[in-house]
Amino acid sequence: MAVPRPSSGTEGFFQTAPKLGNQLTEDFFLNRIYNLYIPKPIQTAIEPDLSAFGAYVVSPDVFSLVADAERNPPTVSTHSLFGVPRTTLDTSRGWQELQKIGIKHGILAIAYEEAQGHHSRMYQFVKYHLWTGSNACVTCPTAMADGAARLLSNHLAKGGLSLEQEQVFRAAYQHLTSRDPENGWTSGQWMTERSGGSDVRGTETVATYAPQPASSSFTDAHGSPLGPYTVSGFKWFSSATDSQMAVLLAKTPAGISAFYAPMRRASTSPSNPLPSELNGIAIQRLKPKLGTRAVPTAELVLNDTRAWMVGQDGHGVREIASVLNITRLYTGITALSYWGRGLAIARAYARVRKVDGGVLLTDVPSHLRTLARITVSYSAMMHLGYFVVALMGIVENPGAYEKSGEAMQTAPVQDVKEATALLRLLLPVMKGQCSKLSIGALQECMEALGGVGYLEDEQEFNVSRIYRDASVNSIWEGTTDIMGTDVARVMKGKGGVPILKALGGWVARNTNTWTEEWGSAAELVMQEFKRLEEVWIGLQTEELRFRGRELLNSLSWIVSTVCLVGDAQRDNHPVMVEVSKRWIGEKQPKASIETENWRSISVLDKLVVFGADSTSSKL
């Protein structure tokens, strides 16, 4: 992918600083991913879009919108001047315009247009990677809208809906996947309650089947029929409350079920027309948060909210799983995108900041060593994260994958069945590890700027904002420990043995292709897999849950190493070879103080951190 280069950048980092626009979207490792997973003919078609968008997202206009959204967080009014209860939510112009930008540029739509077949997800998330550091978290409702679109599309494809329900779901799906900013929708996702947190078994919200009378003139705000269920209860942590719809969980006599609810309703009665109003929803208050301050996250009171059931009664947890798969994917890639932007800012700052009487940070060995360490981890997690994106693309569009006859250039899967098994296992691994490791890495990026890193004056350099916002990723959609528990559940579930077989086959098949240079690495990977296999088979579920983080660490290391080495030996690029060796070396015992020549190590540190920039445009 050509490195995006805008026609104009922003000033900063003192009077001598360069314009930073192109530096903030240069990413050697993203370029590697792009070239590994997207075939050349597709690159030719999409590269103009990515290059132009990469320039646009770091333009002064976009950063001014981010600044406006950060300065003007959402507000809510719960009563009128005379004390009459009402709910009025106000969001900033910056937030609203950034949402429109995301919709217009197809940040969600790309995946559903499927113009690139099973590569559409990869195209989507490469573009998303460029966008994430510049949008004040409008990608939070984008993620939930994507999950809702996948849920609705699954049921539209499956059939069995009433004519009325099919029309409602199809209209919502078309809005969610639109590129028209005036008609595009986002979605909320309401599961969390005070009683249970993310444990949906604590759901207390109740849904009652109560069809509207035939004489009713109420529709949703867009003219579609309102659903036959009324939902009442309290949702404690609800993001994207300015959205046009929500997917939520509620209890019925059959158990926990999933529902689609429009946010607003209206009366079309000629004798008593009423303006659009909230659909039995009241915002109790907005949440005060460490980060994601522009996102309207609220406590919601539902009182006879009209809704449509999605899927089978009592199977809500199963239905919501398809939404969680998408939002967890977004969470992990968001973490990587923030991490990449933080490193880009740190690299740019090192080129202009002088210390010790005039020495640039680019020539300070201790500074380089820290940046090199977090760059190596970034590369490994990028390979883990985007391997999972590639798996998702195959699983969502198996026909296009099988028809293409293509194989990944590194760490290829054998077939759709293997991709499905690996995706089920690795999605929580990727979400947990990328989210967790990015937080510490971004703290290092912030520290790398000294006092400048702690300031929030100019959004293009604002690592502290990115750090704050990234901190939610290890919590949202399941904490790190919950991800470990999910992995343990997969291991001991009905598909556990086939998934183990799929992972073992994938690891062995790929390491067998490594050249002699990587022979010791192949042995190390197989040893780690054997240890994991013994634990997988030998331990009971409860102990596996206890060792959840160990499972995440082991699986992420195995998969990222297989992908890293496959990439490195593809063209023996010096940066990838050095990164791969360092990543593998982290697994081997070390002396308390390394005795290698520190000057030689520092030269290689500089290659890892800055050599990547100098070569990225040549790929």
Q: How far apart are CA 349 and CA 448, in angstroms?
A: 8
pLDDT at 238 over 80: yes
What are the backbone angles phi and psi of residue 113, rounded to the nearest 5°? -70, -30
Q: At 218, is the secondary structure helix, strand, or coil?
A: strand
Q: What pLDDT, on the 0 to 100 scale, is given for residue 3?
A: 40
Lowest mean pLDDT of 208-217, 433-442, 481-490, name the range: 208-217
pLDDT band at 2 (very low <50, low <70, confident <90, very high): very low
What is the residue extent of each domain of the chain? 183-314
The one-letter code for the residue type at 394 is I
Higher-pLDDT residue of 467, 411: 467
- pLDDT score of 606: 94
pLDDT score recorded for residue 244: 96
Tell me, what's the pLDDT at 13? 43
Provide the 3-class DSSP secondary structure of residue 302. strand
Which among 310, 397, 353 has a CA at the least distance from the CA of 123?
397
What confidence score (pLDDT) does residue 612 get? Answer: 55
Would the pLDDT of 598 be above 90? no
> Stretch 146-159: mean pLDDT, rounded?
97
pLDDT digits (tens, 9 = 90+) for 347-401: 999 999 999 888 999 999 999 999 999 999 999 999 999 999 999 999 999 999 9
CATH of domain 183-314: 2.40.110.20
Whole-number Å distance between alpha carbons of 293 and 287: 9
Could you report how far apart the first and last alpha carbons of the chain are, in Å? 7
Residue reference for tokens 């003139």: 217
In 3D space, the residue among 218, 194, 211, 229 whose CA is nearest the CA of residue 300 turns out to be: 194
pLDDT digit string (tens) for 80-121? Answer: 888 888 899 999 999 999 999 999 999 999 999 999 999 999
What count of Cα atoms within 13 Å lies in the side-chain half-sphere of residue 546? Answer: 6
CB 480 within 8 A of CB 429: no
Torsional sign, CA 139, 619, 462, 438: positive
Q: What is the pLDDT of residue 1?
A: 46
What gap in Å lies between CA 382 and CA 453, rounded to an integer? 24
Encoding tokens for residue 153? 């599309």
Query: What is the torsion angle, in degrees rounded to the nearest 10, for the CA atoms of residue 378, residue 380, residue 382 and residue 388?
Result: -150
Q: Is 35 exposed, middle or buried (0-12, 13-18, 19+ CB in 10 A)?
A: middle
Q: Using one digit for the tens of pLDDT, what is the confidence trace for 185-233?
A: 999 999 888 876 667 778 899 999 999 887 787 899 999 999 999 999 9
Kindly give the pairing relationship between strand 245-252 and strand 187-190.
Answer: parallel
Q: Read off the tokens for 416.
A: 């759709």
Query: Model confidence over 532-548: pLDDT tens digits?
Result: 999 999 999 999 999 99
Is 25's pLDDT higher than 60? Answer: yes
Mean pLDDT of 63-70: 96
Low-confidence winner among 191-200, 258-267, 475-484, 497-506 (lowest mean pLDDT): 191-200
Residue 593 is predicted with a pLDDT of 56
Confidence of residue 615 (pLDDT cuts 50, 70, 90): very low
Name the one residue in this structure whose structure tokens are 């799983």.
321
Residue 9 pLDDT > 50: no
Give mean pLDDT, residues 267-273: 69
Cα–Cα distance list, 18 to 10, 462, 466, 605 (Å): 8, 16, 22, 23
Mean pLDDT, the chain, whole residue set = 91
Phi, psi of 610 (to 5 degrees): -110, -25
Q: DSSP letter string over 380-430?
A: HHHHHHHHHHHHHHHHH-HHHHHHHT---SSS--SSHHHHHHHHHHHHHHH
pLDDT in tens, 278-336: 999 999 999 999 999 999 999 999 999 999 999 999 999 999 999 999 999 999 999 99
Q: What pLDDT is attached to residue 10?
A: 33
Q: Which of 386, 344, 367 is nearest to 57 (CA)?
A: 344
Residue 191, CA distances (Å) to 23, 165, 188 in order: 40, 22, 10
Residues forming beta bridges with residue 266, ordered by sequence position: 219
Kindly tell me if the per-residue pLDDT of 614 is higher than 60.
no
Look up tokens 């005795």; give the residue: 595
pLDDT of 509:
96
pLDDT band at 589 (very low <50, low <70, confident <90, very high): low
Residue 584 has pLDDT above 80, yes or no: yes
- Those residues with Cβ within 8 angstroms of residue 294's Cβ, 6 or more apart along the chain or in another chain: 69, 70, 73, 74, 91, 92, 94, 95, 136, 137, 138
Band the pLDDT of 594: cuts 50, 70, 90. low
pLDDT at 215: 73
Query: What's the predicted TM-score (pTM) here?
Result: 0.94
Could you give the CA distance from residue 582 to residue 481 in angstroms, rounded to a whole number? 27
Comparing CA positions, the residue from 575, 457, 561 lying closest to residue 71 is 457
8 A C-beta contact, residue 244 and residue 264: yes
